[in-house]
């Protein structure tokens, strides 16, 4: 439960790998280490986003509401970041995140996150790369679905 | 009130004035004797031969005669001193009584002002007038008659003496008096006019200060402070130049007075000297006249000063009184009768061509209607002053220019306001709340039964009556239980609870009660129940490990990682600022406790590391960065000092640090450290153990004189320094546990409901102080309170002037239903902006720019368009 351990954890995340430890220490100090129990929700789809979370330990499910109930679209685990989209582009949470095990997170408040991004362009670039990758992924999936829909039914 | 100050003084204190005058006159012979006796001692006892002397028929030797005369002199000194003391005290009493009466009279006038008068008369002006401007009048009143009598008497006595010595010299002494009497008032009049201006100008200042204090938010958010400063400077400049003119004139008067006073000796020396040279006057006679003239100048000066003072106070009096005679001042009503005359609240309520004109604008224009009571009536129409004017006219706050409002055939404007107040309630927007508790404000409308017994001490009562003040004790029981429809306190409590729930104040009172402190001596039973809740919450926490980790409870034997170092050390709540967390490192006793086992050094080392960390983390941030406020242990202003300190000293130097400021600086830092939150690993197990020892020592060695400055945490006792909520929790909500706050709050509420404590906590919340004007409450809380105040007294007629405007739509509707339900079978007149509510009322009165457009049941009066417009 110490700050130095949090800093070590942050260093092992690719996004922050290139940032000097002193800056990560400030990030850790201004963030809150939060423990969730299995089954707790970090946030719910449609909520106002006020923070991003870095998972320090454990596993969580990303769920999207659908007419047939919540659908799990991904799982995230140690060193993953969730919830940054809602604070980046000021939209409501696009998905829910729910702890699949006991979960330790570092909660980075919106202000701290922007402080980081504006101070360290490399972080912004990393986030851009990550988002671009996700977009690419989504586009690919969309194309797949489209082509499947266009194909004559069996 | 009398148009002149003397009239007022005579009307209210002529007896006392006669007493002062009589005693003053009685004192004059003794004063004369005390002046005369030295002459007898010199001439008779010391001079004129060595033979025996006669003293009141007894023959005494020369020496004994001297002793006797000296003792007489001493006795006269005492008698004169005694007279002076008595007269001064009595004059003080007369002055203060008059002042008290005057202030009371003016205050009662404020209560009778027509509401429109407050648009021209600011609060600042009223305060200035009642507090400051009448103050000098009190001092003058005691002297009003006695001073001219006393000083005039002395003057005449001395003049007589001078004329007896030499008529020519006597004439010389007073020859310039007519000139003075002629010229001084002329100059004085100019000073008086300036004085008037000054009074007015100071009122303007008072007004500006009042306005600034009330509008500081708007001044700052409009960045208008520089402008306001400049305007205020202008006003101050005006006062300055008026004052300067006053000084010039005043000291010119003084100069002329002094010059004229010195002209007399000039005449004595020249004319007297000539007479001496001519052999017509002795030198001794000139000396006697000069010494007499010397004595003459004191009373003459006093009389002139009195004259100036007289004009000054008369002006002040007139100026103040003029402001308290507005047209439309409500008549004085007898407050001593317990039951006011009966008002025909059964109705009907009629308006016959009622017209209200203010500032030459017709606000209500020949409005006529007749409504059978009881009824629930909505006053609708475009926004404008007409609806408020109509409602206020029904409680005599506004007067009709022509036409009447009638209640059961009685002209409302002829009905006594106080009686109306018994039957009719009015809630404006926003309504005013008064200093006191929430409960005091709720029962405010019931406090109208003047207490029958005199409950004040005899002294207080006698003085109150002597000054024409209220004969009733303000601290006594004023509650009219009958008005609330209850018998006694217990009944009122039930009714109060019902009203509080109806107006939705219970939830807010609950929150206030939870967050407020409680005096266990005054509510021992509740304190006991709260301890039960503490135990029940502990059981719940212990039963579920998932919940247990949400709270770290206070344990005398354990270090609490979720509390500050200071809280761990003190292990209690400070009841005195000297033990506040911020100041703990400066507390001499705490320092002694820490020094006893070298803990101060250990904590300073922690402080040093903390400072080094903060300097490292925050060094690159601009000083105005949000992080300093949110996260840093060190403010941006102090950071350079700490940076220098860390640079200057090495960690090894801390134990031998001698600089007092540095020592204190480093010790202050770790006090705010919360290990579980800050995660800095600075408080290790060994240090925790030492802090626990210090905690015990602090409690054991606390001097008896300091004992009431800390409320120690005691698992089995209520903590008077902590809120009710903290007393139940008896610990700190753990950091780092998701949603801990909300989950603990839910648990807390569950425990409270399980133990049936909610009502008691609501009651405690009702006892919370609201501050002057209710500043500690939100606008909606204040408005709820005003509604509750009106409903509690069950008025036969409830007038609501857009009273719900502060609430959101849903709450407005909830409150509307609650109010109409509470007023079932009685009359409501409600001006509001919700045409869509029309169907909730029996009748609708529609006004448009002062004219009555329609009156009747909603189905007839409201067109389809109106209903659509509502949504």
Q: Name every chain B residue with its beta carbon within 8 A of the beta carbon of A33.
A: 679, 736
Q: Each residue of A52-95: pLDDT tens digit?
A: 899 989 999 999 988 888 889 889 998 888 888 888 878 888 88
Nearest to A35 among B617, B626, B736 (CB): B736
pLDDT at res. B870: 44
Q: Name every chain A residue with its beta carbon within 8 A of the beta carbon of B546.
A: 37
Structure tokens at B564: 């500050």
What is the maximum span of chain A, computed from C-alpha positions, in angstroms?
A: 60
Beta strands in B205-360 (DSSP E): 349-358
Range scoring the smallest mean pLDDT among A71-80, B293-302, B702-711, B775-784:
B293-302
Structure tokens at B503: 């107006």
Q: Name every chain B residue with its beta carbon within 8 A of the beta carbon of A9.
A: none
pLDDT(B867) > 70: no
pLDDT at res. B31: 78
- Please state the rounded mean pLDDT for residues B607-625: 85
Radius of gyration of chain A (CA): 17
The A residues from 23 to 82 touching B (CB cutoff 8 Å) are 25-26, 28-30, 32-37, 40, 42
3-state secondary structure of B649: coil
Structure tokens at B147: 């001073």
Interface of B with A (CB under 8 A): 546, 616-618, 626-627, 630-631, 676, 678-681, 735-739
Q: Each residue of A36-50: pLDDT tens digit?
A: 988 889 999 888 888
Query: How many C-beta atoms surround the C-beta of residue B823 within 10 A?
Result: 22
Q: Name every chain A residue with its beta carbon within 8 A of the beta carbon of B678.
A: 3, 29
8 A C-beta contact, residue B677 and residue B569 = no
Nearest to A29 among B617, B681, B737 (CB): B617
pLDDT at res. B733: 92
Q: Each residue of B298-349: pLDDT tens digit?
A: 888 888 888 878 888 888 888 888 889 888 888 887 666 555 567 777 879 9
Radius of gyration of chain B (CA): 39
pLDDT at res. B335: 64
Average pLDDT, chain B: 86
Structure tokens at B845: 């009165």
pLDDT(B703) > 60: yes
pLDDT at res. B801: 93
What contacts B232, CB < 8 A, 6 or more positions away? B205, B208, B212
Residue with tokens 């029309």: B838
What contacts B710, CB < 8 A, 6 or more positions away? B570, B572, B573, B574, B575, B576, B579, B702, B721
Say yes or no for a CB contact (<8 Å) between A26 and B630: no
CA distance B604 to chain A (A): 21
Question: Highest mean pLDDT range out of B156-165, B180-189, B341-350, B733-742?
Answer: B733-742
The residues pairing with B854 across neighbouring beta strands, listed in sequence order, are B846
CA distance A120 to chain B (A): 13
A–B: how many Cβ contacts below 8 A? 45
- Please state the rounded mean pLDDT for residues B801-822: 91
Q: Name every chain B residue with its beta carbon within 8 A of the beta carbon of A98.
A: none
Backbone angles phi, psi at B843, to 5 degrees: -135, 155
pLDDT(A154) > 50: no
- Interface residue A22 vs chain B (CB under 8 A): yes
3-state secondary structure of B58: strand
CA distance B809 to chain A (A): 24
Structure tokens at B164: 């007896």
CA distance B851 to chain A (A): 50
Q: Three-state secondary structure along chain A?
A: CCHHHHHHHHHCCHHHCCCCHHHHHHHHHCCEEEEECCCCEEECCCCCCCEEEEEEECEEEEEEEECCEEEEEEEEECCCEECHHHHHCCCCCCCEEEECCCEEEEEEEHHHHHHHHHHCHHHHHHHHHHHHHHHHHHHHHHHHHHHHHHCCCC
B433-458 burial by CB neighbour count: b if 16+ within 10 A, else e?
beebebbbbbbbbbebbbbeeeebee
8 A C-beta contact, residue A97 and residue A49 = no
Q: Name every chain A residue with its beta carbon within 8 A of the beta carbon of B680.
A: 2-3
> How far lies B257's CA from each of B169, B491, B543, in Å?
20, 74, 94
Q: Each residue of B4-44: pLDDT tens digit?
A: 888 998 898 889 889 988 998 888 888 778 777 877 787 77
Backbone angles phi, psi at A61, to 5 degrees: -105, 140
Say yes or no for a CB contact (<8 Å) between A29 and B631: yes
pLDDT at res. A1: 55
Query: How many C-beta atoms surround the C-beta of residue A149 within 10 A?
Result: 8
Closest-CA residue in chain B for A24?
A: B617
- Please state the rounded mean pLDDT for residues B255-259: 85
- Interface residue A151 vs chain B (CB under 8 A): no
8 A C-beta contact, residue B795 and residue B826 = yes
At residue A138's C-alpha, the angle toward residues A134 and A143, to 5°, is 150
> How far lies B605's CA from each of B5, B272, B611, B696, B833, in Å?
73, 93, 10, 22, 66
Say yes or no for a CB contact (<8 Å) between B616 and A22: yes
8 A C-beta contact, residue B377 and residue B845 = yes
Nearest to B680 among A3, A35, A36 (CB): A3
Nearest to B736 among A4, A34, A42 (CB): A34
Say yes or no for a CB contact (<8 Å) between A2 and B617: no
d(CA B830, CA B838) in angstroms, rounded, equals 11
Cis peptide before B631 (omega within 30 of 0): no
For residue A153, what pLDDT band results from cuts at 50, 70 and 90? low
Cis peptide before B322 (omega within 30 of 0): no
pLDDT at res. B798: 95
- Interface residue A111 vs chain B (CB under 8 A): yes
The residues pairing with A103 across neighbouring beta strands, listed in sequence order, are A36
Chosen for mutation from B679, B685, B733, B737 (greatest number of chain A CBs closer than 10 Å) is: B679
DSSP for residue B437: B
Say yes or no for a CB contact (<8 Å) between A1 and B679: yes
> How far lies B505's CA from each of A109, B511, B517, in Å?
35, 10, 19
Give B535's Cβ-side CA count (13 Å radius).
10
pLDDT(B169) > 80: no
Specify whether the backbone of B223 is left (phi greater than 0), alpha (psi in -120 to 50) or beta: left
Q: Each residue of B213-245: pLDDT tens digit?
A: 888 889 988 888 899 999 999 999 999 999 999
What contacts B168, CB < 8 A, 6 or more positions away? B271, B275
8 A C-beta contact, residue B442 and residue B499 = yes
Q: Name every chain A residue with its beta carbon within 8 A of the beta carbon of B735.
A: 32
Say yes or no for a CB contact (<8 Å) between A2 and B681: yes
3-state secondary structure of B49: coil
CA distance B628 to chain A (A): 10
Sheet with strand B827-831: strands edge to edge = B424-427, B797-801, B827-831, B376-380, B843-848, B851-856
d(CA B403, CA B413) in angstroms, rounded, equals 11
Q: Name every chain A residue with its beta carbon within 8 A of the beta carbon of B617.
A: 22, 25-26, 29
8 A C-beta contact, residue B172 and residue B159 = no
Average pLDDT, chain A: 85
pLDDT(B678) > 90: no
Q: Name every chain A residue with its beta carbon within 8 A of the beta carbon of B626.
A: 111
pLDDT(A96) > 50: yes
B617-638 burial by CB neighbour count: b if 16+ within 10 A, else e?
bbeebeeeeebbeebbbbebeb
pLDDT(B594) > 50: yes
CA distance B805 to chain A (A): 29
The residues pairing with B364 across neighbouring beta strands, listed in sequence order, are B356
pLDDT at res. B823: 93
Nearest to B417 by CA among B330, B339, B350: B330
Q: Name every chain A residue with its beta carbon within 8 A of the beta carbon of B738.
A: 34-37, 40, 42
Backbone angles phi, psi at B294, to 5 degrees: -55, -45
What is the maximum span of chain B, computed from C-alpha positions, in angstroms?
A: 123
Say yes or no for a CB contact (<8 Å) between B679 and A35: no
Sign of CA dihedral B763, B768, B773, B779: negative
Taken as a whole, chain B contains a residue count of 871
Nearest to B617 among A25, A42, A115 (CB): A25
3-state secondary structure of B234: helix
d(CA A11, CA B380) in angstroms, rounded, equals 67
pLDDT(B848) > 60: yes
CA distance B663 to chain A (A): 26
Nearest to B679 among A6, A26, A36 (CB): A6
d(CA B711, CA B574) in angstroms, rounded, equals 6
Nearest to B427 by CA among B793, B825, B778, B116: B793
- Please state the rounded mean pLDDT for residues B188-211: 86
For residue B866, what pLDDT band results from cuts at 50, 70 and 90? low
Backbone angles phi, psi at B334, to 5 degrees: -75, 120
For residue A121, what pLDDT band results from cuts at 50, 70 and 90? confident
């Amino acid at each position: 439960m110490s700050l130095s351990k949090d800093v070590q954890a942050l260093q092992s995340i690719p996004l922050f790998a290139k940032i000097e430890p002193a800056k990560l220490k400030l990030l850790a100090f201004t963030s809150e280490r939060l423990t969730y129990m299995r089954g707790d929700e970090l946030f719910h789809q449609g909520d106002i986003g006020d923070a991003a979370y870095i998972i320090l330990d454990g596993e969580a499910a990303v769920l999207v509401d659908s007419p047939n109930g919540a659908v799990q679209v991904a799982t995230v685990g140690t060193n993953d970041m969730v919830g940054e989209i809602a604070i980046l582009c000021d939209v409501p949470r696009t998905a829910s995140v729910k702890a699949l095990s006991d979960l330790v997170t570092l909660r980075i408040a919106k202000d701290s996150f922007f402080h980081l991004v504006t101070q360290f362009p490399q972080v912004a670039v990393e986030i851009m790369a990550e988002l671009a990758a996700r977009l690419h992924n989504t586009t690919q999936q969309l194309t797949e679905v489209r082509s499947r829909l266009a194909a004559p039914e069996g | 009130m009398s148009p002149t100050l003397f009239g007022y003084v005579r009307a209210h204190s002529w007896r006392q004035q006669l007493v002062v005058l009589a005693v003053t006159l009685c004192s004059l012979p003794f004063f004369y004797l005390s002046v005369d006796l030295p002459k007898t001692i010199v001439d008779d006892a010391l001079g004129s031969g060595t033979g025996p002397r006669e003293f009141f028929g007894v023959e005494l030797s020369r020496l004994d005669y001297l002793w006797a005369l000296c003792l007489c002199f001493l006795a006269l000194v005492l008698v004169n001193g005694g007279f002076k003391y008595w007269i001064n005290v009595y004059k003080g009493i007369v002055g203060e009584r008059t002042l008290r009466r005057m202030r009371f009279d003016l205050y009662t006038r404020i209560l009778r002002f027509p509401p429109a008068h407050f648009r021209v008369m600011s609060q600042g002006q009223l305060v200035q007038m009642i507090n400051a401007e009448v103050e000098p009048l009190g001092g003058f009143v005691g002297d009003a008659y006695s001073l001219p009598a006393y000083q005039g008497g002395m003057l005449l006595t001395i003049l007589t003496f001078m004329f007896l010595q030499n008529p020519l010299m006597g004439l010389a002494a007073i020859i310039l008096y007519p000139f003075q009497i002629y010229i001084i008032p002329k100059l004085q009049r100019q000073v008086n006019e300036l004085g008037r201006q000054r009074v007015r100008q100071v009122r303007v200042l008072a007004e500006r200060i009042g306005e600034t204090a009330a509008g500081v938010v708007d001044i700052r958010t409009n960045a208008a402070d520089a402008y306001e400063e400049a305007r205020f400077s202008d006003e101050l400049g005006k006062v300055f130049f008026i004052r300067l003119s006053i000084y010039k004139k005043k000291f010119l008067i003084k100069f002329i007075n002094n010059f004229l006073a010195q002209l007399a000796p000039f005449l004595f020396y020249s004319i007297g000297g000539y007479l001496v040279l001519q052999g017509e006057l002795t030198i001794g006679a000139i000396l006697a006249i000069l010494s007499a003239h010397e004595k003459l100048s004191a009373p003459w000066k006093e009389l002139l000063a009195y004259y100036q003072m007289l004009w000054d106070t008369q002006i002040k009096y007139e100026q103040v009184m003029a402001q308290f005679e507005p047209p439309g001042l409500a008549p004085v009503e007898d407050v001593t009768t317990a039951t006011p005359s009966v008002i025909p609240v059964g109705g009907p309520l009629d308006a016959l061509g009622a017209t209200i004109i203010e500032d030459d604008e017709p606000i209500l224009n020949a409005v006529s209607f007749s409504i059978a009571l009881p009824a629930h009536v909505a006053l609708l129409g475009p926004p404008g002053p007409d609806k408020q004017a109509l409602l206020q006219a029904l409680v005599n706050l506004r007067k009709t220019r022509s036409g009447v409002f009638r209640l059961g055939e009685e002209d409302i404007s002829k009905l006594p306001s106080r009686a109306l107040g018994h039957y009719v309630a009015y809630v404006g927007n926003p309504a005013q709340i008064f200093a006191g508790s929430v409960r005091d404000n709720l029962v405010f409308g019931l406090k109208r039964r003047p207490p029958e017994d005199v409950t004040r001490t005899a002294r207080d009562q006698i003085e109150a009556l002597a000054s024409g003040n209220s004969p009733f004790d303000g601290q006594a029981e004023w509650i009219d239980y009958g008005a609330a429809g209850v018998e006694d306190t217990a009944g009122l409590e039930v009714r109060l609870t019902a009203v509080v729930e109806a107006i939705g104040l219970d939830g807010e009172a609950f929150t206030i009660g939870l967050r407020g402190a409680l005096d266990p001596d005054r509510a021992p039973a509740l304190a006991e129940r709260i301890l039960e809740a503490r135990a029940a919450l502990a059981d719940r926490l212990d039963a579920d490990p998932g919940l247990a980790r949400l709270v770290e409870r206070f344990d005398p034997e354990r270090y609490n990682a979720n509390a500050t170092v200071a809280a761990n050390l003190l292990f209690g709540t400070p009841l005195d600022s000297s033990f506040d967390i911020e100041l703990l490192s400066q507390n001499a006793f705490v320092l002694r406790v820490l020094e006893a086992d070298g803990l101060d050094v250990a904590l300073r080392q922690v402080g040093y590391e903390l400072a080094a960390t903060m300097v490292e983390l925050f060094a690159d941030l601009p000083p105005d960065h949000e992080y300093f406020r949110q996260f840093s242990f060190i403010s941006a202003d102090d950071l350079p000092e700490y940076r220098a300190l860390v640079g200057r000293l090495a960690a090894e130097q801390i134990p031998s640090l001698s600089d007092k400021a540095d020592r204190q600086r480093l010790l202050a830092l770790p006090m705010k450290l919360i290990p579980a939150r800050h995660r800095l690993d600075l408080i290790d197990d060994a240090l925790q153990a030492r802090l626990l020892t210090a905690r015990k020592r602090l409690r054991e060695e606390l001097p008896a004189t300091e004992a009431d400055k800390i409320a120690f945490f005691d698992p089995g006792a209520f903590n008077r320094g902590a809120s009710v909520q903290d007393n139940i929790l008896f610990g700190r909500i753990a950091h780092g546990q998701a949603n801990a706050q909300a989950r603990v709050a839910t648990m807390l509420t569950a425990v409270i409901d399980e133990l049936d404590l909610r009502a008691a906590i609501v009651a405690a919340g009702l006892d919370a102080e609201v501050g002057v004007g209710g500043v500690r409450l939100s606008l909606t809380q204040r408005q709820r309170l005003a509604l509750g105040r009106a409903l509690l007294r069950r008025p036969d007629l409830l007038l609501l002037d857009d009273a719900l405007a502060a609430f959101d739509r849903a709450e407005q509707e909830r409150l509307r239903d609650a109010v109409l339900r509470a007023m079932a079978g009685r009359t409501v007149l409600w001006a509001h902006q919700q045409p869509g509510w029309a169907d909730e009322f029996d009748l609708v009165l529609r006004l448009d720019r002062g004219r009555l457009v329609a009156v009747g049941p909603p189905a007839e009066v409201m067109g389809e368009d109106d209903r659509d417009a509502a949504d």
